[in-house]
Amino acid sequence: MSGAAVEDRVAVVGLGLVGGSLARLLAARGVDVVATDVSPATRAAARRAGLSVADDLAACVAGAGLVVLATPLRVMATVAREVAEHAPASATVTDVGSVKGPVRAAVVAAGLAGRYVGAHPMSGTEHSGFDASDAGLLDGVRWAVTVDGEVEPDRLAAVLGLVTGPCAGTAALLLDEVHDEAAALISHVPHVLATQLLNAVGGAPVRDVALGLAAGSFRDGTRVAFTDPARTEAMVAQNAAWVAPALRKVVRDLDLVIESLESNGSAHEFFHAADEVRAGGPPGPPAVDHDATVEQVPRSPGWPATLVERCTAGAVVVGIGTTHVDVTSPRR
């Protein structure tokens, strides 16, 4: 299992938690990486950490073969326009955001449609900013890599090579909308529910007693609620098309539980609805299953579409070479 070597310069635009972690990891792996951030204080901190830092976006992306957008969603359109103006025409553009549809809309509007491949590392913490970044955060993790049905194969190969090469990770290649629906269920809705749980306790008359008694279940259930609320609100709003219907289902299910409790009825169906999922144990398979059988998918015409089909069914990309892509299939 091996990823393609990353020989071109990588430009990381934005040095928050994820962008900073990616820049640190790539630098540690010997990749030629240059980063920048709009904050002078953040740039200074990154230089102290030993990173190569440019003072502005134009200098950062000059000569880059791969540009990683790691800025907040609210400024993505502006940043995409600057990248289109200053990056070499040969540069592939990717990102690390948790929502893909709005990012693609921004890069398409900026004239980068044929050069963009979406990406989302499935790792994070409730903290934010460069000071919270760490190379280990993105080392060996699962990524979602996304396309819109049409993608230049060589640009896709460049992003898969970054993920499975210096990042030592694996990738699921998905359509944007599949990623955004899944992300709503396993990330964005949990952020909303965690926030509501924290709100419920924060507004209760026994708040101080409850917080003093809180243990593992409350800490686990509210951890992501300690994320910067503005960042969470923006993330959820950007994926509203998928988050809203998922939350409506949550509300309907909880209403049924409430009715059962108030009528002394049974909520058995609610508590057992996910028994099949529960039987498989907690989610989160290892990024690389070294015992899995690796299959080589030829990089013949149409290989991206083949990978999308395979990964949507559960396969995982674990490496990429010049003539093939290494994938593993889910165990049955």
Q: How far apart are CA 190 and CA 200, in angstroms?
A: 15
Return the pLDDT at 288: 52
Query: Is residue 325 classed as helix, strand or coil in its secondary structure?
Result: strand
**Residue 71 predicted with pLDDT over 90:** yes
Q: Where are the beta strands (DSSP E) in the chain?
A: 9-13, 33-36, 52-53, 64-69, 92-95, 118-121, 142-147, 170-175, 294-298, 316-320, 324-328
Place of tokens 């003539």: 323
Burial of 41 (0-12, 13-18, 19+ CB in 10 A): exposed
Where is pLDDT greater, at 311 or 127? 311
Listed residue (51, 101, 98, 103) closest to 227, CA to CA: 98
Average confidence (pLDDT) over 41-52: 98
Q: How far apart are CA 147 and CA 214, in angstroms?
A: 43
Return the pLDDT at 126: 82
Sign for the pseudo-dihedral over CA of 28, 30, 35, 40: positive
CA 330 to chain centroid: 21
Return the pLDDT at 24: 98
Return the pLDDT at 3: 53
One-letter amino acid of 210: A
Q: Which of 116-125, 203-212, 273-282, 302-311 has the lowest mean pLDDT?
A: 273-282
**Residue 332 predicted with pLDDT over 60:** no
Q: How far apart are CA 298 and CA 240, in angstroms?
A: 37
Query: What percent of the chain clears pLDDT 70, i.e. is strictly above it?
Result: 95
Q: In what order do the strands lie in the sheet with 9-13?
A: 52-53, 33-36, 9-13, 64-69, 92-95
Return the pLDDT at 331: 60
**Residue 282 predicted with pLDDT over 90:** no
Place of tokens 């600057």: 82
Q: How far apart are CA 214 and CA 225, in angstroms?
A: 15
CA 172 to chain centroid: 11
Burial of 253 (0-12, 13-18, 19+ CB in 10 A): middle
pLDDT mean across residues, the chain? 93
Return the pLDDT at 6: 65
Phi, psi of 94, rounded to the nearest 5 degrees: -135, -175
Query: What percent of the chain clears pLDDT 90, i.e. is strictly above it?
Result: 87
Where is pLDDT greater, at 102 or 6? 102
Q: Which of 101-105, 228-232, 308-312 has the lowest mean pLDDT?
A: 228-232
pLDDT in tens, 89-115: 999 999 999 999 999 999 999 999 999
Return the pLDDT at 291: 66
Query: Is residue 23 classed as helix, strand or coil in its secondary structure?
Result: helix
Residues 6+ apart with CB under 8 A from 5: 161, 165
Listed residue (120, 153, 187) closest to 308, CA to CA: 153
C-alpha distances (whole Å) from 273 to each of 131, 197, 314 are 41, 22, 22
Average confidence (pLDDT) over 49-60: 98
Average confidence (pLDDT) over 250-260: 96
Return the pLDDT at 287: 46
Residues 6+ apart with CB under 8 A from 37: 14, 15, 16, 19, 43, 46, 53, 130
Return the pLDDT at 1: 45
Q: How far apart are CA 146 and CA 130, in angstroms?
A: 26
Q: Where are the beta strands (DSSP E) in 218-306?
A: 294-298
Listed residue (202, 203, 189) closest to 251, CA to CA: 189
Return the pLDDT at 289: 57
Q: Which two three-digit tokens encode residue 102? A: 């709005």
Average confidence (pLDDT) over 129-154: 95
Q: How far apart are CA 28 and CA 81, in angstroms?
A: 30
Helices (H), 74-188: 76-86, 101-109, 153-164, 176-183
One-letter amino acid of 15: L
